[in-house]
Amino acid sequence: MKIGRFIVNILKIHSLNGNKKRRKNYPPHGLFEERINVPYMNDDNIQHSFDIYYAKENRKNCCIIDIHGGSYIFGEHKDNYPFAVPFVKEGFDFVNIDYVPNSGKTSTKDILDQCAACLNYVFSHQKELNIEGDSFAITGDSAGGHLALSMAEAICDKEYAKELGYEFPDIKIVAVLANCPVYDFVHVGDGSLSSSGMKRLFGPTYKDKKTFELICPKTHFASLKCPVFVSTCSQDFLRWHSLNLKEDLEKNNHNHQFIDITSDEKGVGHVHNVLHPEHKLAIEVNNAMMEFITRNKDFSLNK
């Protein structure tokens, strides 16, 4: 049976309840100097904002920008505060960005437009925002992994950015870090979603193959010129996307690292390192991400 709009909405409610539980277990804010709900658009929508957490000591020459997941239809930047904590403790300034999720009337391209606007704001106001260093890494989980990969592709390739309608300043991006990402967006719903489910998740353009191809990381893999970190696990229901990305990275001798956690423990599933960052296996993945950034700190698109 294909998943329809009703079941998608049930999944959304279940996930939102899970996020409320996480916020209770990981009370947000207070550990670091921070700026909360910084607006990046001239409107009153609180989701057009981002948070910055500043490292207290041993500040690295790199800021991590995180794009949250949520199947394109739910989630908020504050949900990923626990994920940010270990990175800030290690000296990375950390930006959690937000966007308005799909409602059935808006599309995934609209989400990408918001992410691009936020990134442009952060890049253009770095000094005012007191963000340390001259380089950035972009990370995202699940749907956010798709958004992070697409943003990295657009930053790396000015022609692709132009196709999307974006223009980024010249900035140094040292890595993109995708946790259990959606990679082949064109075929993400094949065989599993009804038309109503597709419309609920991806908006009114769900039948528009050209738009899907335009914003599909796999379609524009050649634009992805920066180092790539990918994590997945044996219980990741989107694992085939990570394996597909790994295959393309290996085929093209692309600078990358692939982490695949084998475990049947409860909680060690899809984006476990984001949802449960204090678990020993999550720590393993997140430490590997930090080591990957450090190893590629001298990467430059202009070399």
pLDDT digits (tens, 9 = 90+) for 74-113: 888 988 999 999 999 999 999 999 999 987 778 899 999 9
66 closest CA partner among 19, 127, 122, 16: 122
Q: Is the pLDDT score of 156 beyond 80?
A: yes
Give the model's pLDDT for residue 277. Answer: 94
Would you state the structure tokens that stand for residue 250, as one six-digit string? 């290996």
Q: Is the pLDDT score of 7 beyond 50?
A: no
Domain map (residue ranges) of the chain: 5-295
Distance CA 279, CA 273 (A): 8
Once rounded to an integer, what is the mean pLDDT over residues 112-129?
A: 97
CA atoms within 13 A on the CB side of 293: 26
Q: Does domain 5-295 have CATH number 3.40.50.1820?
A: yes
Would you state the structure tokens that stand for residue 149, as one six-digit string? 């990969």
Count of CB atoms situated within 10 Å of the CB of 252: 12
Q: Higher-confidence residue: 121 or 194?
A: 121
Vertex 88 angle, CA 284 and 30, to 5°? 120
Does pTM top 0.85 for this prediction? Answer: yes
3-state secondary structure 74-135: CCCHHHHHHHHHHHHHCCCEEEEECCCCCCCCCCHHHHHHHHHHHHHHHHHCCCCCCCCCCE
Would you state the structure tokens that stand for residue 165, as one six-digit string? 């309608």
pLDDT tens track for 274-302: 999 999 999 999 999 999 999 999 887 76
Helices and strands of the chain, counted as H and E runs: 10, 8
Give the model's pLDDT for residue 208. Answer: 85
pLDDT tens track for 163-212: 999 999 999 999 999 999 999 999 886 666 677 777 877 888 878 889 99
Q: Is the pLDDT score of 22 beyond 60?
A: no
Distance CA 78, CA 207 (A): 32
End-to-end CA gap in the chain: 51
Average pLDDT, the chain: 89
Give the model's pLDDT for residue 8. Answer: 42
Distance CA 151, CA 115 (A): 8
Cβ burial 286-301 (10 Å sphere, 16+ → b, else e)? bebbbebbbebbebee
Q: Is the pLDDT score of 28 beyond 70?
A: no
